[in-house]
Amino acid sequence: MIPIGRQKALSNVQTAVTAGRCAAVVGAAGTGRTSLLRAVVAGLAENGVEVSLLEGTDADAGVPLAAFAPLVAAADLRGADPLEVYTRLPALVAARGRAVAVDDMDRLDRASVVLLGQLVRARARVVVTVTELSDLPRAARNTGPAEDWHIETLGPLDADELLSLAAEFLGDELAAPSAAVFVTHSLGNPGRMSEMLRAAAGSAVRTDAGIDLGPVRISTRLRELVAPTLPERGSDQRRLLDLLAVTSALPVEVVDPTTLEPAESAGLVEVSERAIRLADPLLDDVLLAAMSPQLRTQNCNEAARLLHGRDGWEVDAVLLSTRAGRKVDPTIALRAAEQALADHAPDRALELARFADPGLADTQLVLGTAYCEQGDHTEATKALTDALALAGDDRARVRVGQQIGLLHAVRRADPATACKEVTRIVETVTDPSWRPVLAADLVKWRLMAGLPVDGIEVRPVAPRAAVRVNEAVIAAMVSTMAGPLGETERHVASGLEALAATDIAPPFAVHLLRLSTYLSMAFGGDLAGAEEFALRHRDAAARGTDPSLGMWEYGTAELALHTGRMDRADAMSARASRHLAWRDFTGLRPAARALRAAVLARLGRITAARELAGRCTPAERADPKVALHLARVEAEWRLRHRDRRSAYETLRAAGVEALAAHHVHLGLLVLDEAAMVRPTEEVAALLGGYAGVSDLYRLFARRAQALVERRVEVAAECAEEFLAMGMPGRAVQAATSAAELAAGSGAGERARRLGRRAVAITSTTGCSGWPSPDQVNALTGREIEIAELAARRVRSREIAESLGLSVRTVDNHLGRIFRKLGVRGRDELSEVFAPVPPTAVGRTGTASAG
């Protein structure tokens, strides 16, 4: 399988070779260059091109021209002397139009390189793979015109592409901890990741949170990829590497520069202003695999000695001391455990807390919190119960109460029990200035349980930063549900300021505040900014195994659904369900399951969608977020049965119920979908009532009213506004609806122009319209490149030169483009790839039939 990130490279190379050019695929070992080459060969063969695939490694046999033996045999030159092969073979290959593909060209012997140069000189089609461009032998590279070579350099794959490869390999998504390890340790190299997966697959465990592969396992092949050579054991460089393997980092000042400089020059370590780390994230696993238990203990002891007493290195020093078997002060161990927990390292916190005093409430609180984060609810309950019994003051009781509420309401999805337990703890808090800290949490748990919140006092007698954080989180959430969006950032800023002034902030408050910022951006119409914001935080969470990972994946999946980017919605909704099963401090797990069902339904997998929707319990269906997604599933099922009226009514009713439940913004999104299914005065009026809230809702209302009044030009303008706003799916739908209105009024030419515009938007964005079941005959990637150039009046010869094609190939593509779009030439093509201009009628606002 060729990853999405390599599809463009595949198309480029295949096009170049088809056009008669030579091509080189450049990439380090494991970047997928061999897979890409084989895909090029397969594609050429499917198009009737004869191809000889040669292996540069055959030259290792030490026999001149060994790699070319298959080609020599195909040309019936067996037994010919080298000179005859040099003179006859290139002409024969070129005359037959045969293509020659050489994997690992940089491994060829000298005689083979010369022969390859002769093939290039004879204008034969050649495609090769090399590690570095400089590895492309001069005898081949300097043969013929420079423009005959197309160079395709393979860079690293991004996190989503790597995780998709892993899911394809394993048959399911990786659990978040395994995903973070495999993404960060593979360095974007698909070969490394594949080898890591193969080495670990035997110990894979399937869980609700995805596939857990456990610790990295170093195979022989992986060791060769990471560190083919290492400094000798006993040398100063090797001692430095071994110390870094057990501690992950060392302060710069503790390492002798005469040892550091050669290790850095060899690319084994990276040096920042403050710390030294191994350059390759897999190198520590390679080193540890080769380290005896006795040597590991010695290295831990030495590293602990080097870190002792250094600011900022306390957790590492204490942890290494325990691993070396040294006695640690329980108070110091507890402090280090609390810091590890603050750094989102529950495994380290558990390891350190075992050396703290078990009779302290703070020790049991650390244990309970760490167990809770790791999903061990039984041990978490036991430790938190002990912590509450040991709590000697209100501050301690409040901190334990926060975790008990989180355990029941979010981890166990049982907010009713959380309400009961936290209410009981609130009653034991005597200081009136501490009570509101837990009372604010109680409001959240009661809202989740569907219980009234009247009468709960959350205002402090004396102001406390922790209470202000809670108030800001709740106020920001409310504003992104139903309140003025302009208030969100004020609440977020207040919450962040209060967070800096307290050490008992509600767990994950910073993530919830950032989520409110994201929702405010999206609902306000800044969809591009919201998407960039969410993906940035999601990528950081994925690489750092942050508990917010599932939350951000849910957010990006929801946005992708509404913008029409269904490939992203598919991937992110699947991962959100898995990773919220691993960590969920938002209570989004049921909503994620419903969202996944909605995405599956939109993708046409209606049976799987309805089966998944059926798993939602009645209590979960009471959540408006869940109800809205389930309404989408039901509407899709009705659309599949051509019952448009019932689909509309399902969405309309769900939207109205969401508005009544004060989930205004989510309700408006589904009401707009109802208007897309069947525009009515009722829904247009409902949307119009919120047109002043944001640019997005203004556009919803404008498009809905245009469809009701059958105003073609306004609908066409809305398509361009949706596209500019970052909602290509709705842009396609608006253009398609405008085309249908124009056709219905007899304006055939206008309808054709708008239909072509819908095809152009689909082709350039990859997003199709909804709810129309019609399949748009979209252009391919290459056709889009040619069409956009031709639309700018670029001549065929110039297009051919810029894309490395023949003029004939360009003209053939243009013929297919014209047929797909129903245009007669470049003049009409220019109209297709430019926004549809408003007419004078459209600008004045007078009703237009086309």
In angstroms, the CA 703 to CA 720 distance is 11
- Inform me whether the pLDDT recorded for 842 exceeds 60: no
Q: Which residues of 813-838 are buried (b: 16+ CB within 10 A; e: fewer)?
A: bbeebbebbebeebebbebbbebbee
Q: Evaluate if residue 585 carries a pLDDT over 80.
A: no
The structure tokens listed for 75 are: 């040309």
Q: How many CB atoms lie within 10 A of CB 777?
A: 12
pLDDT tops 90 at residue 534 = yes
- Averaged over 194-218, what is the pLDDT? 88
More confident position, 252 or 822: 252
Calculate mean pLDDT across residues 30-36. Answer: 87
Residue 146 predicted with pLDDT over 70: no
Confidence of residue 645 (pLDDT cuts 50, 70, 90): very high
Q: Give the pLDDT band (50/70/90) at residue 845.
A: very low
The structure tokens listed for 124 are: 């034969």
Assess whether pLDDT exceeds 50 at residue 848. no
Q: Cα–Cα distance between 262 and 235 in angstroms, integer?
A: 12
**DSSP 8-state class, residue 137:** -
Confidence of residue 453 (pLDDT cuts 50, 70, 90): low
pLDDT winner (highest mean) among 26-35, 683-692, 753-762 = 683-692
pLDDT of 461 above 50: no
Q: Specify the pLDDT at position 804.
A: 67
109-123, 277-291, 397-411, 446-460: range with lowest mean pLDDT: 446-460
What is the reported pLDDT for 32? 86
pLDDT in the model for residue 632 = 97
574: part of which helix (H) or strand (E)? Answer: helix 566-582
Given pLDDT bands bounded at 50, 70 and 90, which one contains residue 182? Answer: confident
Q: Which residue ranges form the domains of the chain, and what is each CATH number?
A: 4-153 (3.40.50.300), 540-735 (1.25.40), 736-850 (1.10.10.10)
Amino acid at 163: L
Residues 6+ apart with CB under 8 A from 45: 51
Six-digit token string for 448: 């989740």
> Cα-flanking dihedrals φ and ψ of residue 627, to 5°?
-60, -40
The pair phi, psi for residue 269, each rounded to 5°, is -130, 160
pLDDT reading at 783 higher than 60: yes
Cα separation, 582 vs 504, whole angstroms:
24
Q: Rounded to two decimals, what is the model's pTM?
A: 0.72
- Give pLDDT, residue 366: 96
Which backbone phi and psi does 623 adopt, to 5 degrees?
Answer: -70, 120
Beta strands 99-103 and 205-207, pairing class: unpaired
CA–chain centroid gap for 458, Å, is: 38
Q: Is the pLDDT of residue 143 over 60?
A: no
pLDDT reported for residue 741: 93
pLDDT in tens, 496-510: 888 888 766 666 788
Query: How far is it, in rounded angstroms, from Cα 739 to Cα 715?
Result: 9
Which pLDDT score is estimated for 7?
81
Residues 573-600, mean pLDDT to the nearest whole number:
89
d(CA 441, CA 418): 10
Q: Averaged over 352-356, what is the pLDDT? A: 95
pLDDT average, residue stretch 616-642: 92
Query: Higher confidence at residue 410 or residue 212?
Result: 212
110 pLDDT band, cuts 50/70/90, is confident
The answer on pLDDT for 463 being more than 60 is: no
Output the pLDDT for position 811: 86
| Rounded distance between C-alpha atoms, residue 812 and residue 179, angstroms | 45
pLDDT at residue 156, as a whole number: 87
Query: Mean pLDDT for the chain?
Result: 86
* Weakest mean pLDDT among 110-114, 361-365, 550-554: 110-114
Indicate the pLDDT class of residue 690, thresholds 50, 70 and 90: very high
pLDDT at 849: 32
Q: What is the mean pLDDT of residues 349-368?
A: 96
